[in-house]
């Protein structure tokens, strides 16, 4: 197997690394080992995953193949990231989050505990793309606790998806989503409550105290 692990990378016990994994890749302006990278116990990092330096990742972390995670993110325990997904920098991903394949998570997003993102979900953060002030006006998306984002949904910059909400497949979300509702369409509109279709996020609590 051929892996590259840069200096100042800490891996917890019982990890598994696939072929061509790169850990601690220095971001622009930094040298090898200048930023600490921490990955907790029992990680499964599959082939061709690249994790930049400065990430702090919890226990039971796993990726699919060809995942890229940029620098300076905080990622909790029991997080799973699907194949070909891209996570940009300065994002927070809390415990038990599941991100499916080919999703895009840009800078300054927050994915709260237990939320679920389907394949090809796109979060956005650029209010004024391709402008001189684009970077000064980035606004990440917040996905609330145990919210569900369906496949191919797109969520515009700065949107807050409330806890336990369901965003339907292919939706284009242009305004904040209240907690516990179902929303779909382009532009997405509220069409009911998650409880009406049997989704009960409060009843889906997991034990996050499992020892490693």
> 10-37 pLDDT, tens per residue?
999 999 999 999 999 999 999 999 999 9
13 in a domain, yes or no?
Answer: yes
Same domain as 97, residue 70: no
Domain boundary, last residue among 89, 118, 137: 89
Q: Can you state the percent helix, strand and coil of the chain, rounding each to 5?
A: 5, 35, 60
For residue 202, the model assigns a pLDDT of 65
Same domain as 84, residue 96: no
Q: How confident is the model at residue 58 (pLDDT cuts 50, 70, 90)?
A: very high
Domain boundary, last residue among 89, 119, 136: 89
Same domain as 161, residue 96: yes
Beta-bridge mates of residue 105: 87
* Rg, Å, the chain Cα set: 17
Same domain as 132, residue 158: yes
The fraction of the chain above a pLDDT of 90, given in percent, is 92
The fraction of the chain above a pLDDT of 70, given in percent, is 94
Same domain as 186, residue 158: yes
> 103-138 pLDDT, tens per residue?
999 999 999 999 999 999 999 999 999 999 999 999
Going by the DSSP 8-state scheme, the letter that residue 3 receives in this structure is -
Q: How many domains does the chain have?
A: 2
For residue 210, the model assigns a pLDDT of 39
Same domain as 102, residue 68: no
For residue 206, the model assigns a pLDDT of 57
For residue 187, the model assigns a pLDDT of 97
Please state the φ and ψ torsions of residue 63, each to the nearest 5 degrees. Answer: -125, 160
7 in a domain, yes or no?
Answer: yes
Range of the domain at 33: 1-89
Same domain as 192, residue 114: yes
> 70-106 pLDDT, tens per residue?
999 999 999 999 999 999 999 999 999 999 999 999 9
Closest C-alpha to 28, from 89, 83, 84, 96: 89
Closest C-alpha to 83, from 61, 105, 72, 68: 68
133 in a domain, yes or no?
Answer: yes
Same domain as 100, residue 59: no
Domain boundary, last residue among 36, 60, 89: 89
For residue 201, the model assigns a pLDDT of 80
The tokens describing 123, both together, are: 């979060």
| CATH number for 41 | 2.160.10.10
211 in a domain, yes or no?
Answer: no
Q: Please work out, in degrees rounded to the nearest 5, the angle formed at the alpha carbon of residue 11 by the alpha carbons of 25 and 40.
A: 110
* CB contact at 8 A, 17 and 45: yes
Same domain as 177, residue 99: yes
Beta-bridge mates of residue 193: 181
184 in a domain, yes or no?
Answer: yes
CA distances from 202 to 97, 174, 206 (A): 15, 26, 10
Going by the DSSP 8-state scheme, the letter that residue 202 receives in this structure is G
210 in a domain, yes or no?
Answer: no
pLDDT higher than threshold 50 for residue 208: no
For residue 209, the model assigns a pLDDT of 39
Same domain as 190, residue 103: yes
Same domain as 118, residue 45: no
* Overall average pLDDT of the 160-188 stretch: 97
SS3 readout for 40-91: CCCCEECCCCEEECCCEECCCCEECCCCEECCCCEECCCCEECCCCEECCCC
Beta-bridge mates of residue 122: 104, 154
150 in a domain, yes or no?
Answer: yes
Same domain as 180, residue 145: yes
189 in a domain, yes or no?
Answer: yes
CA distance 148 to 161: 9
Q: How confident is the model at residue 204 (pLDDT cuts 50, 70, 90)?
A: low
């Amino acid at each position: 197997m051929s892996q590259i692990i840069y200096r100042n990378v800490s891996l917890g016990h019982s990890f598994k690394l696939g072929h061509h994994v790169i850990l601690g890749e220095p971001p622009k302006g930094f040298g090898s080992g200048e930023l600490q990278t921490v990955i907790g116990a029992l990680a499964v990092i599959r082939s061709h995953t690249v994790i930049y330096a400065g990430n702090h990742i919890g226990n039971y972390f796993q990726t699919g193949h060809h995942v890229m995670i940029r620098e300076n993110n905080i990622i909790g325990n029991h997080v799973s990231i699907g194949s070909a997904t891209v996570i940009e920098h300065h994002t927070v991903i809390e415990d038990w989050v599941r991100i499916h394949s080919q999703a895009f998570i840009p800078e300054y997003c927050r994915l709260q505990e237990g939320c679920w993102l389907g394949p090809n979900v796109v979060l956005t953060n650029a209010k004024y793309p391709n402008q001189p002030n684009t970077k000064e006006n980035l606004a990440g998306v917040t996905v609330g606790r145990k919210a569900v984002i369906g496949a191919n949904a797109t969520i515009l910059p700065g949107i807050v998806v409330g806890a336990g909400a369901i965003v339907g497949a292919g939706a284009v979300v242009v305004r904040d989503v209240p907690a516990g509702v179902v929303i779909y369409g382009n532009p997405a509109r509220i069409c009911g409550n998650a409880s009406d279709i049997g989704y009960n996020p409060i009843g889906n609590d997991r034990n996050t105290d499992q020892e490693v």
